[in-house]
Amino acid sequence: MKRIISAFALLVSLTLVSYTQTSSPAAKKSISAFTEKMQRIDGFIPMYVNSDDGRIYIEVTMFNFEFLYLVSLPTGVGSNPLGLDRGQLGTTKIVTFERAGNKVLLVQPNYDFRATGDARQKKSVEESFAKSVIWGFKIEAAEGDRVLVDATTFLIRDAHGVADRLNQAKQGNYSFDESRSALYLPNTKGFPKNTEVEATVTLSTNAETGNLVNQVAPTARNVTVRERHSFVELPDDNYRPRRFDPRTGAIPVSFYDYGTDINEDLEKRWIQRHRLEKRDPGAAVSEPVKPIVYYVDNGAPKAIQDALIEGASWWNQAFEAAGFRNAFQVRVLPPDADPMDVRYNVINWVHRATRGWSIGDSVVDPRTGEIIKGDVTLDSQRARQDFLLSAGMSPQYASAGNACDFGLLRDIDYLNPSDNAGDAKSMSYARIRQLSAHEVGHTLGFTHNFAASTYGRGSVMDYPAPLVEIKDGKLDLSNAYAVGIGSFDKFAVKYAYSQFAAGANESYELEKIVRDGVASGMLFLSDSDARPAGASNPLANLWDNGPDPVAMLRHEMRV
């Protein structure tokens, strides 16, 4: 009997040992041991790349620490109707890493609903509205407070939603093709304040493909682009938000503040703007501590670069009116710089198969409205259309205008006009300069002002039609587009960027700027006043000149 009990006890003991060995979690390897043969990329968020299997790992050293996360499109599809352009920005999110057992969660807090009160009020609002978990990572190794997670499937995916856009445009039934996608190491880089990860992403379909994709892709069933993930350190707390005023043309960020009294507006609105400070706060006009610098695409032709620089530089006139000297500067992007790097404000010269729109976009801190990066997309085909418009109005056609002999018409070189090519090119470059200033204006924090044409080309943020004059019986294109910044633009920059003397009442000073501007005729009417057609303010016309549309129509009929 004792032998049976002893045997049973031994069996139980062995079973427990076996169960413990097979069911207890294996101890995590150290990060140094796990990554011993991998390539390390230092930066804001350290990374490791395993060249053997193409996997990429993120080293998480900061938990519950907020930073910016942005997805963008370094290479485009090339079709204006599809709207997937080189340099396109995605949505900017504030996120944090949170540890949950053997997982790390990438969490997006809800900044649409906040409280400016004490910690208990903030917690109450935080618990009242949903957060979003963007991704969950499995911990592969650990070392002290640091953990290593496998981020391969997070970083090599269609994060920008290219397939969704193609499918919405009825171009096929595209989905992410893992077998044709991989990490793009040349543009995967680490910097002290930002980490950039780029992936080659292929979207594939077995369905019939649409004409838009067929026009631009070498093999329409497989559309390959590159998508970038940016992890960016948030700015420090020294930036001071400025309240939004709808009369100034500023673009707002908005949120609900549940810390306000019941007799105050629940919705708070602050303007979007770059950080700009005077080196000498007491001076009426001062050099900046750090200027706002924009960089023109180094892949644009030299003549185009010069026009883009000149047009964008007009904004310095407005900053001078606001009390800053040399505060806004424009240069050509250095050859070793990456235009997608958030440290650079860029003016991209983007090519498409057909003419398309131009765009001014920004990376903005959702907490404050501070602009971190300005990103302009200018369409290269647009300039060619402007050339055709101006060539069509040039006097080269006058010699054959009344001729019935088509032999005379054959003698005219329509594609290479000799006498008036200068006029046509001059008008085209004038439009490029104006367009550069317009789209940069959006990235400085300003929206359209469609009323500005009623008071003497008052803003580069209007939509200008070419003003063709008649002089000595001939069409004159020399004043087709305005040169320099407008009076409203100076008013808008004064409101957004002026720095007031120490001890000044900012609310009073801002209201004074607005009142003085309105009194001097600075009328502002934007998209909601101009579009849709039929529901607009009669002063908010697009593509017009002058205060009297009937008089301008008569002039254009004469032209």
The whole-number pLDDT of residue 355 equals: 86
Please state the φ and ψ torsions of residue 15, each to the nearest 5 degrees: -65, -45
Q: CA distances (Å), 28 to each of 25, 52, 148, 434, in order? A: 9, 21, 10, 60
The whole-number pLDDT of residue 20 equals: 41
Helices (H), 465-548: 487-497, 506-519, 527-530
Q: Cβ-count burial of 392 within 10 angstroms (0-12 exposed, 13-18 middle, 19+ buried)?
A: exposed
> Is residue 376 scored above 60 in pLDDT?
yes
> Is residue 12 scored above 70 in pLDDT?
no
> Is residue 408 scored above 90 in pLDDT?
no
Tell me the pLDDT tens digit for each residue of 20-53.
444 334 557 899 999 999 999 999 999 999 999 9
Tokens of 224: 């390959």
- Percent of the chain beyond pLDDT 70? 90
Helices (H), 2-94: 2-23, 31-34
Using an 8 Å Cβ cutoff, are 111 and 270 in contact? no
Tell me the pLDDT tens digit for each residue of 443-497.
999 999 999 999 999 999 999 999 999 988 888 899 999 999 999 999 999 999 9
The whole-number pLDDT of residue 340 equals: 84
> Is residue 13 scored above 80 in pLDDT?
no
The whole-number pLDDT of residue 411 equals: 39
| Among candidate residues 189, 185, 190, 176, the one with its CA nearest the CA of residue 225 | 176
Q: What is the mean pLDDT of residues 507-521?
A: 97
> Is residue 91 scored above 90 in pLDDT?
no
| Choice among 116-130, 262-276, 426-440, 508-522 with the minimum mean pLDDT | 116-130
> Is residue 507 scored above 60 in pLDDT?
yes
- Top-ranked range on mean pLDDT: pick from 83-92, 119-128, 171-180, 385-394: 171-180
Q: What are the beta bridge partners of residue 194?
A: 232
pLDDT interval class at 8 (50, 70, 90): very low
The whole-number pLDDT of residue 383 equals: 85
> Is residue 177 scored above 90 in pLDDT?
yes
The CA distance from 418 to 414, in Å, is 9
| Among candidate residues 340, 343, 342, the one with its CA nearest the CA of residue 377 | 340
> Is residue 420 scored above 90 in pLDDT?
no
The whole-number pLDDT of residue 22 equals: 40
> Is residue 108 scored above 60 in pLDDT?
yes
pLDDT interval class at 534 (50, 70, 90): low
Average pLDDT, rounded, for the chain: 90
Whether the upstream peptide bond of residue 74 has omega within 30° of 0, thus cis, is: no
Query: What burial letters (b/e) apply to 244-253, b meaning 16+ CB within 10 Å?
Result: bbeebbbbbb
The CA distance from 55 to 371, in Å, is 34
pLDDT interval class at 533 (50, 70, 90): low
The CA distance from 537 to 450, in Å, is 10
pLDDT interval class at 555 (50, 70, 90): very high
- The DSSP line for 355-384 is ----EEEEEE-TTT-BEEEEEEEEEHHHHH
The CA distance from 165 to 144, in Å, is 43
The CA distance from 451 to 414, in Å, is 37
Residue linked to tokens 């009623």:
454
Q: Which residues, including other chains, have CB under 8 Å from residue 384's CB and lie 6 or more apart? A: 355, 428
The CA distance from 425 to 384, in Å, is 9
**170 vs 16, which has greater pLDDT?**
170
